[in-house]
């Protein structure tokens, strides 16, 4: 009986840790707070993030800079491996690697056709209300508000 209680406690603790992931939730792009140094900004982006064991499930919907709808799905783990990005715009060969820096920060490496094309640093504020995405090597900073 004691062993069963310990297992239930450990499982409950793990679930509460996953649920407490600061990246989890609904997020919406705040165009007024974002900065796009190059290129046209998207018309809007919203995404839902669910915490999973050692990773995330991310579903993104939005409208790109040309006014076309977009949909993306990604289920990366924080294990250094490449995970495919499923996208409605027909782009293929895009993979993503997530690296957890700390509870509120992760680094995202984007590859296309096996070649690294972008690195982003993403940080959720300590109050959990703001997600800031900084694209390395550019002036692009995207700010998302928790819904």
Structure tokens belonging to residue 142: 């995207």
* Dihedral (Cα; 90, 93, 96, 97), 10-degree rounding: 170
Q: What's the predicted TM-score (pTM) here? A: 0.82
Task: Please report, for the domain that includes residue 89, its CATH number.
Answer: 2.40.128.20
Give residue-wise pLDDT tens across range 100-141: 999 999 999 999 999 999 999 999 999 999 999 999 888 899
Whole-angstrom distance, CA of residue 121 vs CA of residue 137? 11
- pLDDT confidence band for 18 (50 / 70 / 90): very low
* Average pLDDT of span 43-68: 93
Structure tokens belonging to residue 129: 């209300």
- Residue of 107, 111, 109 lying closest to 91 (CA atoms): 111
Q: What does the pLDDT read at residue 12?
A: 41
Domain total for the chain?
A: 1
Range of the domain at 22: 2-146
């Amino acid at each position: 009986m004691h062993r069963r209680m310990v297992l239930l406690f450990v499982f409950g603790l793990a679930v509460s840790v996953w649920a407490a992931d600061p990246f989890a939730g609904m997020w919406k792009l705040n165009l007024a707070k974002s900065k796009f140094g190059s290129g046209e900004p998207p018309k809007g982006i919203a995404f839902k993030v669910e915490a999973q064991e050692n990773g995330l499930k991310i579903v993104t919907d939005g409208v790109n800079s040309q006014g076309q709808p977009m949909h993306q799905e990604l289920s990366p783990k924080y294990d250094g491996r490449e995970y495919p990005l499923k996208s409605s715009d027909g782009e293929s060969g895009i993979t993503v690697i997530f690296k957890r820096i700390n509870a509120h920060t992760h680094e995202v490496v984007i590859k296309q056709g096996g070649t690294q094309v972008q690195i982003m640093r993403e940080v959720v504020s300590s109050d959990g209300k703001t997600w800031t995405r900084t694209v390395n090597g550019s002036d692009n900073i995207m700010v998302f508000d928790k819904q």
